[in-house]
Each structure stands twice: as structure tokens, then as C-alpha cells.
Amino acid sequence: MSTLLLKNADVLVTMDATRREIAGGGLFIRDGVIELVGTTPDLPAEADEVIDMAGHVLLPGLINTHHHMYQSLTRAIPAAQDAELFDWLSALYPIWAGLTPEMIRVSTLTAMAELILSGCTTSSDHLYIYPNGCRLDDSIEAAQQIGMRFTASRGSMSVGQSQGGLPPDRVVEQEADILRDTRRLIEQYHDASRHSMLQIAVAPCSPFSVSRDLMRESAQLARSYGVRLHTHLAENFKDIAYSREQFGMTPAEYAESLGWTGHDVWHAHCVQLDEAGIALFARTGTGVAHCPCSNMRLASGIAPVPAMRKAGVPVGLGVDGSASNDGAHMLGEARQAMLLARVGFGPAALSARDALEIATLGGARVLGRDDIGALAPGMSADCVAFKLDDVAMAGGAVHDAVAALVFCASLRVNWSIINGRVVVRDGHLGTLDLPAVLQRHNALARSLANAAH
């Protein structure tokens, strides 16, 4: 048995059922689970470890619902800097064909370190390219090493250029191999229990890189194990045109026809989801991973997030892959979600607290978790603290510290606790030798790009 007391936070943001914000608040944690939430005098005075959070805002750890962490190796690649989605992919596929298992592991560590330092405690990752012996196990090993709560999505591509798909033939897999490996991963790793640190999702890459059969069979496979389904959908206008041309349907209709709607499904982007699609998603509880930076970077458009939320669609936040959002900052992503919604739909479209809600409770719902996203008794002890005396918060924190977290320039986290374990202590990531990892990561990034020439 071990206990941890966090006390004296200037503001504790609970995200509980009544969205309480507690001045002078704290948490009492036992064995990785929150036991008590309240003002500091209401909590026990002692614990195995006591951390004074004076000068901080304490909030639930942010939840990232969409990423491709291996892409940290290919940020800002010149040929892909100024392209939209399909041309961007076509520039990068030949480089990604050189990925190795070590590159997957080291880039995942790097991406997770960046996420954790930005306030994220749970992430999904969507790995859909498996050249040269790469496996999803390489990502899983990284998550376990750094101590991040993880939904590992077994992605896949099976329709290469010779069959009308977008990826080159040499990076696609046989569908039987994909399904066999997916089954293996679920049986080996998927932990459905409360406070689980590792879950597996089934995630063919996109309608333009896998067949109808694989989409259907993936849905059946996922449901036979009770795991979740994930893919990319309705990302931009070309994506819509491809769907109409190839399938004679909108992406939402196509998803529905294949069994890809329901409370156990979440789709990335949905920038071009139409009114009927929003109604379908709301009716079926189908989730959306909103990725505002990536949507701006690739000029994909503005996702109708306010309309989705109004209709009751579960919406979480995602940074998307590191090559289409070259800065994976979860608090920054919440800020961009707020700003982009205003560009599209007016100044009252999304408040700072709405953005934080999407990044916490929204993400938990999209990943099918009822044990994270809020600080309340019985929830997993995943929380982060940001320092209010940073220059970026000057003059903001004094008026509304919670809103200032989103309105002001995005901070690095000062404390991060994941599953009751202190992972970032006073600004220092303690589970990894980060400078050594970055040095190796950058050497691998260079050799990957050079090998493609």
C-alpha cells in the first residue's frame, strides 16, 4: 500500500459531474487510485509522499486520442512541408518504408516524452506501417518504459497503388497477416480491467488504403474481443471525392455500411462530416478525434466541432502524427481547438473550459474509459500541474487561472502523475534519460531520410 497527498493547489479542476473547481484543493491517492478530493484541510495531513502544489493549477491528465508517433522522425521534411494530405502522404511513404523496429521504439519514446511534458497522461497511437520487421510491440515497449497510459492501435494498409490505393505496394501487408497479427496483439496485451495501462484497438488506416473486406472483418474481429475500432475518416475534400468515386457514398455512409459506427468506434478528423453524418454519429455514439493543428497544417478545413458537440457526438482531442503537427503539445492543441472553432463559427463557439473538457472527459469517452478524464474518488490517479508564475501566465492567472491555461501561450507541465506514479517531478521527466533518447532519435531521423534518397 502506498499513499500520495497533493495539497494546496491554487485551483483544482475536477471535471467531475458538476465541474467543480476547488480553491486550495488537493487529492489523496492510494495505490494509483484517487481516494479523496477536496480542500486541503479536508484531506488527511500525511501520506507516504506529500507534494505541495501551491502556485499551481492541478487538473486531470490530458488525453490524446490520435497520433502516429513514428512520424517524429520525419518532421518538417522539405518535400512535405507545403502539401495537402494525399501529396503529403505520397512524399512521405517512400521514406517511411525504411522504418526499423528501433526507430519505432525510439520515436515513440520521444513522442511520449513530448506529450507528457505538455500535460498528456494517456495517449493512443495509430501505427499502420510495418516494414523491416517493425511490430506494434515496439511501441508498447516504449509506453511501458516511460510509464504512459496507452491505447495501442494496430493499424494496417492493404490496398497499394497497383490496386487503386494511395500507398506504394511495398508498404502494404496481406490482409490475412494483418488479421492474424491483430488477434495476437489483443490476446497478448489487451487489458480491459479498470485502471488498465494498456489497451489494443483495431485500426485499418483509412478507406483509401484498405479494402471493404478488411474494414468489415476488422469490425467483426474487434467486436468478438470487445476492443475498439479506429480509422481516419472524411479528412478533406479529396477524401470525400475518393469515397464518392470508389464507393458511391459519403465517408459516413461508407462507415455505416461496414459496421464502423457505434459507441466502440472513433474516427480521426471528420473535418468534412456532413449534417447527416453528424446525426448518424450522434445517434450511434460514434466518436471523433479532433486534430485542429493537423487540419490547419494540411489545409484540410475546420471540423464542425460545436455542431458535433451540440448533437451529442463524443469528441476528443488528438495531436495527430508528428509529421502533420510538428509540435505535439496537448495543452497547445486545446488552445488551437478553441481558436480554430472561433475562426469557423464565431467567438462563442468554444470556451477555454469547453476545450479543456474535450481534452479530458471527451478523450476518455472516445477511448471508452470511465476511469480517467476527471479527478474524483475511484478514478485513476492521472493528474498534471502547471505553474502559475511563468511569464506566459503573467496577468492571466490572476484573473482566471483555468481559462488562462488555454488562452495564454502553452506551458510545459511542472508535475505529472500517471497511475499514482510521479513521472514529471518539478519539471523533470524522471522515467527516461531524455537527452540520450533525443540524440539517438535524431541520428535515426537522419539515416531514415538519407536512405530514401
Which residue is nearest to Zn ion, using beta carbons?
Answer: 320
Q: CB-wise, 53 or 367, nearer to Zn ion? A: 367
Strand partners, 38: 26
Segment lying near Zn ion (by CB under 5 A), choices 42-50, 183-191, 312-320, 379-387: 312-320
How far CA 438 is from CA of 81, 126, 186, in Å, comes to 22, 21, 30
Backbone angle region of 109, left / alpha / beta, with phi > 0 → left and psi within -120 to 50 → alpha: alpha
The interface with Zn ion within residues 266-295 (CB under 5 A) comprises 268
Segment lying near Zn ion (by CB under 5 A), choices 216-224, 282-290, 317-325, 343-351: 317-325
**Residue 68 CB, nearest distance to Zn ion (Å)?**
6
Instruction: Report yes or no: 290 and 267 within 8 Å, Cβ to Cβ.
Output: no
Strand partners, 30: 3, 33
Q: CB-wise, 262 or 318, nearer to Zn ion? A: 318
Q: CB-wise, 268 or 317, nearer to Zn ion? A: 268
Q: CB-wise, 268 or 293, nearer to Zn ion? A: 268
**Residue 38 CB, nearest distance to Zn ion (Å)?**
40
Q: Which amino acid, residue 386?
A: F
Q: Is 106 helix (H, G, I), strand (E, B) or coil?
A: helix
The interface with Zn ion within residues 237-256 (CB under 5 A) comprises none
**Residue 365 CB, nearest distance to Zn ion (Å)?**
19
Q: CB-wise, 114 or 354, nearer to Zn ion? A: 114
**Residue 319 CB, nearest distance to Zn ion (Å)?**
10
Q: CB neighbours (10 Å) of residue 209?
A: 25
Q: Concatenate the DSSP letters of all residues of 402-443 into one string.
A: HHHHHHSPPPPPSEEEETTEEEEETTEE-SS-HHHHHHHHHH
Report d(CA 258, CA 248) in Å as an integer.
14
Q: CB-wise, 138 or 320, nearer to Zn ion? A: 320
Cα 55–chain centre separation:
28
**Residue 183 CB, nearest distance to Zn ion (Å)?**
24
The interface with Zn ion within residues 318-357 (CB under 5 A) comprises 320
Segment lying near Zn ion (by CB under 5 A), choices 265-273, 348-356, 357-365, 417-425: 265-273
**Residue 396 CB, nearest distance to Zn ion (Å)?**
32
**Residue 66 CB, nearest distance to Zn ion (Å)?**
6
Instruction: State the residue for C-alpha cell 475498439.
Output: 228
Q: How many residues bind Zn ion (CB under 5 A)?
A: 2
Cα 15–chain centre separation:
19
Which of 25, 33, 34 is CA-nearest to residue 53? Answer: 25
Q: Which amino acid, residue 65?
A: T
Q: CB-wise, 147 or 167, nearer to Zn ion? A: 167
The interface with Zn ion within residues 375-394 (CB under 5 A) comprises none
Give the footprint of Zn ion on this chain (CB under 5 A): 268, 320
